[in-house]
Structure 1
C-alpha cells in the first residue's frame, strides 16, 4: 500500500519533484530537465500506476488520493496529502484535477522489437505540437494501432501536456524513435510492412482504394503545417490521401491519423 504522508509546508523538500511546474526552466519533464513522467488527474494517474513506468510518488488533496485507494494497494511509494492552497504553492498554479503522480522513465523500446511484434504502426515526422502528439496517441490506443515510431522533428510524447491530452494512453501505447530518417523507413519494409505516406497530393491514392486493412501496414503522418517532407514520401511504398470536399485541403494531423487508423483496421 502507498505510504500516506501529510504535507502542510509548501517548502517541504519531499515534494520537490512536483515543484514550480509553471516555470519552464524548472519543469522536470522539459528537455534538459530530470525527465520525469508527470500524470495529472485521477484517470491519468491510474493509467500511470498500471503502466511500466516506475512511480516515485503521488501528491494531491485528500479526496483525490482517497479516490485512488484501490489503485494504490500494490504501490510501494509515498502519497503526499495536502490541501489545495499548499498544492498550488508547490506546483505553481491551481490544479483543478487535485492530484499528480511522478514516475521515472521506462527503458527505451528497441525499434526492431516493436516492429517485429506489430501488425500496424503509426510513423510520425515533425509532429512538434504536444497536444496533437497526445491526441495521436489517444487515437492510436482507441483504434488498435500497435505502436508509434518517431521520426525526425517530433516532440517528446512524455511531455506533461502530451500525457494529459492523451488521457494517459501515451503510457500504454509502445513507442520509440527511429535513429535515422527517412532511412529508418526501410526497417519497416525489410520486416514486411507496406508503408503508406498520408499526403493531400492530388496524384496520391484515395484512402478507400489503398487497401490499408490488408497485411502489415505503417502510416506516415507529417507535421501540422507542411506535412511530410518529399524525402519521407519518396521512402514510402505509396502515397495516400483522404478525399475532402469544398475548399478544405487538409486536416489536423490527429484527425487525419484517426481516419487512417480506422481504415487500417477495416473501418
Structure 2
C-alpha cells in the first residue's frame, strides 16, 4: 500500500481528500503545517506528497524547495493561484503537477495515480545506460555526469529518460508534455521549456551550446548522442 503525505491547513479538505485516497487503496498521513510536512517527508519516505501552497508557517513553495534538496519524491501542488507564472514557478522549484482549486477529489486521485504510474514507467530500459559522459542508473533513478551525481527532479529525470529512449527523434512540445507530464497544459507549452532549460543546466557543459538536447526551432526538441555523431558506439 503506497503512502501519501497530504499537507493542508484546512481540516475539512484533509478529511475529504483522505477519504477519497483511502477508498482508492492508499495509506494517507496528514500534516497541517509546513514544518510538520518536512518532518514527515523525511521520516516516512512517502510515495507521493500532496502539498497545499498556503500553509500557516512555511509556504508550500518553501516546503517543496527544501524537500527537493534531498528527495525526488513526486509532489502534487494544490493552490488557488491560477496564473501561468505561478504554475511555472511551482514547476521550476520541483513540483510534478499543479492542481488549481476548486477541484474534484476524483481528479486529484486520478492525478496521483498518473504521477505514480509515470514514476514507475522507466524501469524497462537496461539498468545502466551510457550516453556520452552521462551514466543513467535505471533501477534507482540516478544520473551521473563524469562520475558526479546529478540532482535531478522527477520531471527532469523522466524528461531525460524519455529522450534517451528515442535518440534522434524530434519531439513537439505538446508530445513531450503528454509523454513526460502525462496531461495536457492547454496553451501552456512553456512548461516543457522550463524543464528542458533546467535539465540542460545540469547535463550540458555549456547550456547555451548544448550537445545533447537540441532545439528544433518552431517545433520542439531533439536528443542527440555526441559519440554517435562521431561514429562511436
User: TM-score if structure 2 supplies the norm length?
Assistant: 0.30
Q: Which has the higher contact order (CA 8 A, sep 6+)?
A: 1
* Between structures 1 and 2, the one with greater helix share: 2
Q: TM-score, normalised by structure 1?
A: 0.27
